[in-house]
Structure 1
Amino acid sequence: MKKITILLSLMLPVLLNAAYKPTLSPVDTVQYLATYKYDYQEDSTSALYKGNAYMCLQIGNRLCRFAARSRITTDSIHVALKNTDSNLRNSSVQKAFVNDFASTYFARYSIFSGLNVKSIDFYEGTYKPYHFYEETCFNWNFVADSDTTIAGYLCKKALTSYRGRNFEAWYTLEIPFSKGPFKFNGLPGLIVKIKDTKEEHVFELSSFKKVNYESLIYTVDYKKSNLPLTEIEADDYFKLKRNIQLERLGIFGNPDIKLDPEKLDEVSQKILRRNNQIDKY
């Protein structure tokens, strides 16, 4: 069985005065850019709480990166200002990072993959030391006589399942890249739209273009950033991720932390209703 290698970081987020200061290295030059709108339902028990983010698939000569558009912008600012005054750099990068962190709760990751291979590395900035695990690739079932037009492209339909959800995908042979949003890949053309059958997570292509200006794909240099890696089973990782979320609630119960009761309740409820990640756990 083919496998996908997933690498996850559970890193303490920038919440107060710390600056976003990883060591970034360019790994490829962007040739094409696909932008997706990502709509998601935060709470599995209520359709009242929804969010969205614009996500980008950078396609290079050898590698691809999928991340929030705001994350890619943050990384570019970080690199562009690396030789400037440290106070200016930290202030600019911190502001961009905090805006990114606040606006894309369900999209705080970067996914890297080889252009012509199905293996991927998955990085997610959350709360603890870095972890990695292996995960099986997608098995697709093709739907006959399903041609339709989405975002101006003639598309065909395929079905798959992933971690407790069933997904419907539409891909186009007009863009011959076997890639798509999030971890989804392995179809004969670019995925234009994909959604779970409950429509709680929906990615749809909003634009695809050839990049005619210099644009680089960056990744974190983990050795220079002094970030350790620990192997963990996939199911254990998702349990850990949920436990970390609940630990945050415990922090608010600390009598040494003074918070307005109404504000405390608001933050606690927000944490509890963010229970509907695309990876069910």
Structure 2
Amino acid sequence: MILDITPKEVKFYGRDLAITDSLNKKFGMNSSYTDMTGQVVKRKINSFDNENFINIKNGYYSFRTTDKMNWTIADETKKVENYTLQKATTKFGGRSWTAWFSKDIPFNEGPFKLRGLPGLIFELSDTGKNFMYTLVKSKELPEIYSTSDFLESNFGNKAIPINEKQKHKLIMEFYNDPFAFERNNFSKSNNDLKININGKEIHNVDELNTQTKSMQEVIRKYNNPVEIDKAMHYPIY
């Protein structure tokens, strides 16, 4: 992941998004990449108001949230290379978090939406160790790198603003029928069609229904977002 801090904005996004965009610009390619982390956000500097970006049903969407958090700063410190890190804790998104930040780097930012400490967060993890972030590299760029092709839009698909209710509806529609496009093709061709899904050849609607149930199992299994208090509650059919 990349924490991108500019004088006016802060952005957090997957490194593969930036790599794909860079290769496209350098070699005139037209590649795309879908970030499924659910952690692509943008906000104004010194703000807790986030614009979130998400891929759902082959579409690209954005929705806004306000994510304030209250930190408890401890006296405990430790040394990492030449930096003195101080411990802080907070509750956010249904999880308890421990952060180690450095006052030596005066950015009150950190991974994803976790920010507001008097220094840059170097290490961050929740108590269950579901999510662990460690600062591995810091680099000052000579100019602001444009993210317009992969964050505000996803390689040609401009983000469509939606609200929480619309987001919930889109996610549930995908869960209920993740292969709706393929199903529609089957109905048009009266089943005289072969479709490849994840390397498996599908010949009829019954086989497609089996794949649908398998996909639903995968979706439920990996239903572990950073903000666990906003996790979807998927039905089992």
TM-score (norm 1): 0.60
CA distances 1:7-45 after superposition (whole Å, capped 9, x unpaired): xxxxxxxxxxxxxxxxxxxxxxxxxxxxxxxxxxxxxxx
Query: For 2:53 and 2:132, how far apart are their aligned partners in 1?
Result: 21
Conserved 8 A contact 1:138-1:160: no
Q: What residue in structure 2 maps to residue 232 of structure 1? A: 163
Deviation at 1:227, TM superposition (A): 4.1
Deviation at 1:175, TM superposition (A): 0.9
Deviation at 1:184, TM superposition (A): 1.5
Query: For 2:13 and 2:56, how far apart are their aligned partners in 1?
Result: 15
Q: 1:101-112 residue pairs with structure 2 within 5 A?
A: 101=34, 105-106=36-37, 110-112=40-42
CA distances 1:87-127 after superposition (whole Å, capped 9, x unpaired): xx23xx24xx3xxx4xx6325x5322223333332222332
Query: For 2:47 and 2:37, how far apart are their aligned partners in 1?
Result: 26
Conserved 8 A contact 1:130-1:230: no
Gap runs ≥5 in structure 1: 1-54
Query: For 2:144 and 2:214, how far apart are their aligned partners in 1?
Result: 38
Give me the CA root mean square deviation.
3.5
Query: Residues 136 and 239 (structure 1 numbering): CA distance in 2 closer, same or farther, change over 3 Å?
Result: same
Q: What residue in structure 1 maps to residue 122 of structure 2? A: 192
267-276 or 190-199, larger mean C-alpha shift: 267-276
Letter in 2 for 1:67: Y
Query: For 1:187 and 1:270, how far apart are their aligned partners in 2?
Result: 37
Query: For 2:97 and 2:177, how far apart are their aligned partners in 1?
Result: 31
Query: For 2:67 and 2:99, how far apart are their aligned partners in 1?
Result: 15
Q: What residue in structure 2 maps to residue 177 of structure 1? A: 107
Pair 1:62-2:8 in alignment = yes
Greater relative contact order (Cα 8 A, min sep 6): structure 1 or 2? Answer: 1
Query: For 2:173 and 2:81, how far apart are their aligned partners in 1?
Result: 39
Pair 1:273-2:221 in alignment = yes
Pair 1:117-2:43 in alignment = no
Q: What residue in structure 2 maps to residue 34 of structure 1? A: none
TM-score (norm 2): 0.69
Query: For 1:115 and 1:217, how far apart are their aligned partners in 2?
Result: 16
CA distances 1:198-245 after superposition (whole Å, capped 9, x unpaired): 11111111122333x5561322466xx674734423x66356435524
Q: What residue in structure 1 maps to residue 235 of structure 2? A: none
If each structure's strand is expressed as a fraction of its own residues, which one has the higher value?
A: 1
Q: What residue in structure 2 maps to residue 52 of structure 1? A: none
* Paired-residue identity, %: 23
Query: For 1:114 and 1:241, how far apart are their aligned partners in 2?
Result: 27
Conserved 8 A contact 1:153-1:172: yes
Q: 1:140-159 residue pairs with structure 2 within 5 A?
A: 140-150=70-80, 152-159=82-89
Conserved 8 A contact 2:49-2:66: no
Gap runs ≥5 in structure 2: 232-237
Pair 1:219-2:165 in alignment = no
Conserved 8 A contact 2:50-2:66: no
Conserved 8 A contact 2:106-2:118: yes
SS in 1 for 2:136: strand
Q: What residue in structure 1 maps to residue 18 of structure 2? A: 72
Conserved 8 A contact 1:192-1:205: yes
Aligned residues: 207
Conserved 8 A contact 2:62-2:159: no
Conserved 8 A contact 2:12-2:112: yes
